[in-house]
Amino acid sequence: MKTLVLIAHPNMGASKVNRAWRDAIAESDVTLRELYAVYPNGCIDVAKEQELLLSHDRIVFQHPFYWYSVPPLLKQYFDEVLTYGFAYGEGGDKLSGKEWIEAITCGGPEPSYQVGGYNRYTTSELLRPIEATANLCQMLFRAPFVAYGVLRLSAEDLARTAEAYRKYISDPNLDISTPGKLFAKFSQS
Ligand SMILES: Cc1cc2nc3c(=O)[nH]c(=O)nc-3n(C[C@H](O)[C@H](O)[C@H](O)COP(=O)(O)O)c2cc1C
């Protein structure tokens, strides 16, 4: 199982959680790619990115939750890299069977992502467009790994999320029978 981790954080220098997660997997057997560092001018090398997708089995998109979605460069990546004839449409089955994992950090606390909470919807519901994207690409949308309330994480909890993240993305046996049904999460306890 070859894993590609695509990190999309517009300001890694100021990041606490995404940086800790990156550091936790730096020594793992994964290909680590920080999109904002690779493409500071926003010009994505589509052929290179498609080649990387082809040569890996599990794709992890690690990013902060931005307006219930992804940071702009990652949206641009979806728009430009997941092309017709490659990822979907006629002949577009090149990503078929590969795994898609969302690894997300949320400023909002877990109870806010519930019916009645101030964010109104669960992260699972809010991630539907991304799940649908994976589905159209014939990819297996695995249970997202989500950390909530990250602005107030203690050093211990930060270390715990990072270790849990490392374990999660290196687990070879994520449930393949129920893609999109599971919802792994980490919250302060
Ligand atoms: C433009 C912007 C939009 C954000 N949108 C959300 C959001 O929709 N939901 C949420 O829980 N947090 C949101 N946040 C908070 C970030 O998710 C949070 O700062 C980030 O996950 C912290 O991770 P880091 O320590 O790696 O920077 C937003 C932050 C910014 C700057």
Ligand 1 touching residue 16 (CB < 6 A)? yes
pLDDT one-digit tens code per residue, 100-139: 999 999 999 989 999 999 999 999 899 999 999 999 999 9
Q: What share of the chain is helix, strand, coil (3-state, %, to 5)?
A: 35, 20, 45
pTM (predicted TM-score) = 0.95
Nearest-atom index, ligand 1, CA of 151: 22
User: Which of 67, 151, 153, when mutated, tests ligand 1's pocket best, judged by the most ligand atoms within 8 Å of its CB?
Assistant: 67
CB 86 within 8 A of CB 29: no
pLDDT at 176 over 70: no
Tokens at 73, concatenated: 């460069």
